[in-house]
Structure 1
Amino acid sequence: MEIQAIIKKSKKTKDLITELNPGDIALIAHKDIDEIAALGLIEKKIKGVINIHQSISGSYPNQGPRMLVEKGILLWDNVSAEIWEKINNEDIMTLTKDHIKNIEFFLGDPLTMDDIGAMLQKAEANFNNVLDGFIENTLSYAKKEKSLVTGNVEIPQVDVKIKNRPVVVLVRGKNYKEDLLAIRSFIKEMKPVLIAVDGGADAFLEHRFKPDIIIGDMDSVSDAGLHSAKELIVHGYVDGRAPGLERLNDLGLNGKVFKAPGTSEDIAMLLAYHYQAEIIVALGTHSNMIDFLEKGRKGMASTFLVRLKIGQKLVDGKGVSILYNSPLKARSLVWLVVGMLLPFLVITFYSPTVQQIVKLFLMRLRYSF
């Protein structure tokens, strides 16, 4: 095996994904490759990934590496960090199965599905220990951050009318594109307020929807996305710092600051609830331990608190596309047809008129031969 390819590198995988082209090799520093990162790499149709960190550390069963290898993308794992200094961005290199020829650098064999299966098995065995720590962290921070939902947080004014309207909050999480596609008809018919959390704005635009509000750090949304929204709300730190404002200023855009602990998706839902949304449909949101560990968070205090408060209005649409895409089995189709014919058969049996018509038809058929 020998591959010649352009190698592109970045220690922020989500930034690198925007620069990749089909056939490239990605050089990353990504411990526990998550599903969203894997999907981004897969969509770019790259040939391989060189990771200087452990793709599966064993702390939890992350599925990103499995997804990459299943798609035929070579994954060299836990490669010596020395490679970072030996390769410049966009160098053209020739790779064999276990080394880079140009610089005679040893990579080791790429991971196989058997390798990944064994790693995931070890991670599963450690799951309860990690869960215990995650719960402790969540409860501890929930006590410190409860002001987020008890009315002690200043929520910025918005010009978009939210009261008594449905709201869709879109986050770049698992299956977010498929889930958005699944509720496309709902959006067209009900005309909900569309709130994008950072890169969710670009997903709306891909489906020809314009976000009404973008809320977040403003670090993973395109310039086009930022220009498309009616309102921009920067998620700021409790102490008042809001780094996302700098980018908006550079683009000549105005934004309001929402100072609050927690995640941007939490404050997006809190904003919708505060302004009396009829319902809040959440797509791609993070709601379980693995979701948060993939984001590098060791707890989910703010999410726990926000969902505790807004639960009566929240419709979690995460994974709804799986329901819509369930295949119709042949047996189910047969029973559906039988169910449709049954009323007709009953009417035929009991109706004298229909019986006479059937008899006349049979008699005519008999004398025709």
Structure 2
Amino acid sequence: MARVDRRTKDLAKRILPGQIAVIDHEDLDTVATESLIAAGITAVVNASASISGRYPNAGPLLLPVAGVAVLDGVGSQILATVADGDLISVEGDRVLRAGEVVGQGARQDIATFGAVLETARSSMGDELQRFAENTLNYIQREGHLLIDEPDIPEIPVDFKGRQVLVAVRGVDYKQDLELLRRSGYLKEQRPLLVGVDGGADAFLEMHMQPDVIIGDMDSVSEQALRSGAALVVHGYTDGRAPGAALLDELGVDYAVFASAGTSEDIAMLMAFERGAELIVAVGTHSSMVDFLDKGRPGMASTFLVRLKVGPILVDAKGVSRLYTTHVSTRDLLPLVLAAIITMIIIGALSEPIRTVVRGLALPLR
């Protein structure tokens, strides 16, 4: 059965195991790929190229590795030809419905994706140049956010002197949170929890209450929005605030933070400007491929915001490796000796225990 949607992240929420995802997503990013695989799909029919070759986007490689069939470049007409719920199949390079061919594209596997990636690595320069130009344009438009104090809305959460954990729905974000939990960091440091859109639900899944939720609110569950966290809608410089309508409908209070950057940018800026001691990032964008993978002009702001908050910013993977709570043999030995000495003293002073010991010693005489 086909599930059709132009927004892959929306499709991933409703597609069921065994179904076929029909999408139009050039350069399918890793997060979207992982969400489709987690849903248990059997095939992806993409109107565009899952890897265009503009940059080394390795995310779609996960599909054939997971046993998911991939048919690329079928053309945008496939979204109009195939309706949501149609019974279709993917056979070779064709899409069939009731035995009729309704689409044709390029069948992809690990080898074909690998060849495109190799070409992309050799032509990375053009994308880097475009990214650099975009960054310069952003500095001209929004540079004041990095130099001046931005107009941050007031919310009933005190960041000053606190460690802040910012969770973004990015690559390996759930694994990173789990590593932080196992390391003991979450329990011992008790940081403020800031969820960027769907990152808030990751906290709830781990039975943790988010303190702040920031974003467009398009991928946050109603449970998270009603959890009692302070809500900050990401607004844009043209006055739009897409997430405000949903929160108005739910009847919950919220503030608006207008910025040309991304939601993760304003989450970090808010923590930084409000005096956070440390920002621990989970699932955020930290490499050039991450920035290009996101595929938005606003990603230049993420690069610059990281420069600003860099002195107090730590990647979660680093924390999970550095922050461990294990007991060394040297520390454990005094505890064992103390326990043995305690048992000896109790035995020496306890008449019932002395009686048992004498009874056990009789056969030895």
Shorter-chain TM-score range: 0.7 to 0.9
Say if 1:106 and 1:137 are closer, same or farther in 2 by CA, change over 3 A: closer
Query: Deviation at 1:115?
Result: 0.8
Q: Is the 8 A contact 1:176 1:318 kept in 2?
A: no
Please give the residue correspondences for 1:100-139 in structure 2 after superposition, counting only pairs within 5 Å: 100-102=96-98, 103-108=100-105, 110-139=107-136
Is 1:225 the counterpart of 2:229 in the alignment? no
Instruction: Give secondary structure in 2 for the equivalent of 1:205.
Output: helix
The aligned counterpart of 1:258 is 257
Distance in 2 between residues matched to 1:319 and 1:89, nearest whole Å? 43
The aligned counterpart of 1:145 is 142
Say if 1:95 and 1:59 are closer, same or farther in 2 by CA, change over 3 A: closer
The aligned counterpart of 2:271 is 272
Please list every run of 5 or more consecutive structure 2 residues that lacks an aligned counterpart in the other structure. Answer: 323-327, 330-365
Q: Is the 8 A contact 1:179 1:283 kept in 2?
A: yes
Instruction: Give secondary structure in 2 for the equivalent of 1:246.
Output: helix
Distance in 2 between residues matched to 1:261 and 1:98, nearest whole Å? 41
1:240 maps to a residue whose letter is G
Please give the residue correspondences for 1:137-216 in structure 2 after superposition, counting only pairs within 5 Å: 137-184=134-181, 185-216=184-215
Distance in 1 between residues matched to 2:149 and 2:314, nearest whole Å? 25
Say if 1:119 and 1:319 are closer, same or farther in 2 by CA, change over 3 A: farther
Could you list the structure 1 runs, at least 4 aligned residues long, displaced by more than 6 angstroms after superposition.
Answer: none
The aligned counterpart of 1:293 is 292
Instruction: Give secondary structure in 2 for the equivalent of 1:104.
Output: strand
Q: Is the 8 A contact 1:235 1:259 kept in 2?
A: yes
Distance in 1 between residues matched to 2:157 and 2:133, nearest whole Å? 39
Is 1:88 the counterpart of 2:83 in the alignment? yes
Corresponding residue to 1:34 among 29, 45, 63: 29
> Which stretch shifts more, 24-33 or 288-297?
288-297
1:34 maps to a residue whose letter is D
Is 1:46 the counterpart of 2:45 in the alignment? no
Distance in 2 between residues matched to 1:86 and 1:128, nearest whole Å? 38
Distance in 2 between residues matched to 1:133 and 1:13, nearest whole Å? 25
1:203 maps to a residue whose letter is A
The aligned counterpart of 1:247 is 246
Q: Is the 8 A contact 1:145 1:301 kept in 2?
A: no
Q: Is the 8 A contact 2:27 2:51 kept in 1?
A: yes
1:162 maps to a residue whose letter is F
Distance in 1 between residues matched to 2:243 and 2:219, nearest whole Å? 10
Query: Deviation at 1:265?
Result: 0.8
Quote the sequence identity (%).
47
Q: Is the 8 A contact 2:48 2:72 kept in 1?
A: yes
1:38 maps to a residue whose letter is T
- 1:128-158 per-residue CA deviation (whole Å, 9 max, x = no partner) reads 2211221222123223211112225211112
Distance in 1 between residues matched to 2:156 and 2:62, nearest whole Å? 42
Corresponding residue to 1:74 among 63, 69, 75: 69
The aligned counterpart of 1:352 is none
Q: Is the 8 A contact 1:30 1:51 kept in 2?
A: yes
Say if 1:320 and 1:19 are closer, same or farther in 2 by CA, change over 3 A: farther
Distance in 2 between residues matched to 1:96 and 1:307, nearest whole Å? 46
1:15 maps to a residue whose letter is D
2:230 maps to a residue whose letter is E
Distance in 2 between residues matched to 1:93 and 1:133, nearest whole Å? 39
Q: Is the 8 A contact 1:95 1:101 kept in 2?
A: no
Say if 1:94 and 1:145 are closer, same or farther in 2 by CA, change over 3 A: closer
The aligned counterpart of 2:236 is 237
Q: Is the 8 A contact 1:83 1:105 kept in 2?
A: yes
> Which stretch shifts more, 290-299 or 263-272?
290-299
Query: Deviation at 1:284?
Result: 0.8
Count of residues paired in the alignment:
321
Instruction: Give secondary structure in 2 for the equivalent of 1:118.
Output: helix
Instruction: Give secondary structure in 2 for the equivalent of 1:18.
Output: helix
Say if 1:86 and 1:240 are closer, same or farther in 2 by CA, change over 3 A: closer
Say if 1:299 and 1:256 are closer, same or farther in 2 by CA, change over 3 A: closer
Instruction: Give secondary structure in 1 for the equivalent of 2:268.
Output: helix
2:26 maps to a residue whose letter is K
1:48 maps to a residue whose letter is A
Distance in 1 between residues matched to 2:122 and 2:228, nearest whole Å? 45
Q: Is the 8 A contact 1:13 1:37 kept in 2?
A: yes
Instruction: Give secondary structure in 1 for the equivalent of 2:147.
Output: coil
The aligned counterpart of 2:335 is none
